[in-house]
Structure 1
Amino acid sequence: MDSAKQPLAALKAAFSQMEVVDLTVTLEKGIPRWPSHPHLVIDQTVTHEHDGYYCQSVSFAEHTGTHMDAPYHAHRELPHLTLESVAPDALIGMCTSIDLSGREWLPGESAELDDVERALARTGAEIDEGDIVLINFGWLKRFWTTGRDWRYYADNQPGLTKEVADFLLEKRVRAVGTDTIAVGTPIADGVSGYCHFHQRVLKNEIYLMECLVNLELLPAKCFFIAAPLKIHNGSGSPVRALAYIPKVRQ
């Protein structure tokens, strides 16, 4: 085989032994949103009946559905760290999944470092430098809805403590994602507590991803792929988030 093709063949062979878990919520009318953000609007602008083909118009805030935050989102002093600065492969790499869904978290609570370390010990997983870390509270599975109760998901969630933020900073991870609407922020009845992740982790160009679904399907280690839209001066962007996990042999 041509030596130039060997890496591609190896990549193809590796992916053929994996299955894909879609970690992305569907963009549809009525999904939860940060309460001060505009609604997601999807309009069937062009139809087969009227125009002979089909095309929708979509209007949304940058932080809609499953999305990532760029540092400028929370840091006025970092105007150069918008989406244009995000490397194309910033959200591609090895992933450690941390399952905290064994208890029913209450709004405004924060997971401690002990909670995270116990979850890692249960699976025997270790966080390596450059990992993408995904944390599952079981929150989205419980409260995500397109119905009239959508706001509960947006106005309530568990967060993560300063010690967890420091731990992940020390591990030099490349991104952190959760199944909540704001990584690390404790929120109860619409009142937000201090968020060490937006203030400290994001400032260090460790990207945050929010509103991830199906995290309960992930093993402790997998391969993660996502990419934001390349929005000029973007503070964030929806992503299509995918996890590749080994196929279960029958």
Structure 2
Amino acid sequence: MYRDLSQPIETGMTTFPSDPDVSVEPAATVEADGYRVSEIHCGSHTGTHVDAPSHVGFDDSLDAFDLDRFVFDATVVDCTAFGVREAIGPSVLPNGHGDRDMIVFRTGWDEHWGSPRYVDHPYLSGACVERCVDAGWSVGLDTLNPDPTRSGSHDGGGVPAHRALLGNGLLIVENLTNLAGLDRCRLFAVPLSLPDGDGSPVRAFARER
């Protein structure tokens, strides 16, 4: 049984502040042309997507990773008790390393997708990120960012979680959804074939174990 974990790509959807706006518009129609084609305009970090190390200045882009690196043995941890711009500590993480290679942080913040509140999500504390790095865990989240997202009077504080994870060859999958009730799973987040890609939208889905 597979579960879709992806936000749909559509005109006017939520994006990271200052990222390109998204549009999906007709380029050809059956009525006028005999076939249908859509023109899609978006950034490389649109919707549910995976970040490459080159996103924050490291050498490796998406094409440096074998395809099997985008299939994860994941554990979902419940972080729904954390509130607006609250740091998630390492206490939510499982003991030991186990046979997993990704931790998915379910904050429930995908409920705010499409609203201004979505940028005010919880984020990963330095100690939580350090634990993930030590264990060799990539990270998935149902938020815009493992770091605080800049917005209004909030400057965001940079991208230390990105740099720690991506700098150690661990991947980040952002803007997941539909995580409620999911525990151990095989999570698929395969990017588009973008040479030198700093990130890519994915069709993320999971198979429960």
Greater CA drift, 59-68 or 195-204: 195-204
Q: What's the CA shift for 1:217? A: 3.2
Give the whole-Å Cα distance in 1 for the aligned partners of 2:41 and 2:151: 29
Relative to its length, the structure with more helix (as a share) is 1
Secondary structure of 2:148's counterpart equals coil
RMSD between superposed Cα atoms in Å? 1.9
1:73 pairs with 2:42:
no
Aligned partners of 1:159 and 1:187 also within 8 Å: no
Give the whole-Å Cα distance in 2 for the aligned partners of 1:57 and 1:93: 31
Give the whole-Å Cα distance in 1 for the aligned partners of 2:68 and 2:43: 23
TM-score by length of 2: 0.91
How do residues 1-250 of structure 1 correspond to structure 2 at under 5 angstroms? 19-75=1-57, 78-79=58-59, 81-101=60-80, 103-106=81-84, 108-114=85-91, 116-117=92-93, 120=94, 127-129=97-99, 131-141=101-111, 143-145=112-114, 150-153=115-118, 155-173=119-137, 175-185=138-148, 189=152, 190-219=154-183, 221-245=184-208
Aligned partners of 1:98 and 1:134 also within 8 Å: yes
Q: What's the CA shift for 1:213? A: 0.4
- Residue identity matched to 1:223: R
Greater CA drift, 189-198 or 54-63: 189-198
- Residue identity matched to 2:197: G
Give the whole-Å Cα distance in 1 for the aligned partners of 2:126 and 2:82: 21
In structure 2, the CA distance between the partners of 1:162 and 1:104, relative to structure 1 (3 Å rule), is closer
User: C-alpha deviations, 1:141-178, integer Å up to 9, x for none?
Assistant: 2x112xxxx4431x3221111111111111112x2110
Identify unmatched segments of 5+ residues in structure 1: 1-18
Aligned partners of 1:110 and 1:186 also within 8 Å: no
Secondary structure of 1:24's counterpart equals coil
Secondary structure of 2:195's counterpart equals coil
In structure 2, the CA distance between the partners of 1:188 and 1:109, relative to structure 1 (3 Å rule), is farther
In structure 2, the CA distance between the partners of 1:236 and 1:66, relative to structure 1 (3 Å rule), is same
- Residue identity matched to 2:106: N
User: C-alpha deviations, 1:194-234, integer Å up to 9, x for none?
Assistant: 44321211111101110000111312x11111200121221
In structure 2, the CA distance between the partners of 1:192 and 1:134, relative to structure 1 (3 Å rule), is same
Give the whole-Å Cα distance in 1 for the aligned partners of 2:189 and 2:177: 13
Secondary structure of 1:176's counterpart equals strand
Give the whole-Å Cα distance in 1 for the aligned partners of 2:52 and 2:200: 8
Count of aligned positions: 208
Secondary structure of 2:68's counterpart equals coil
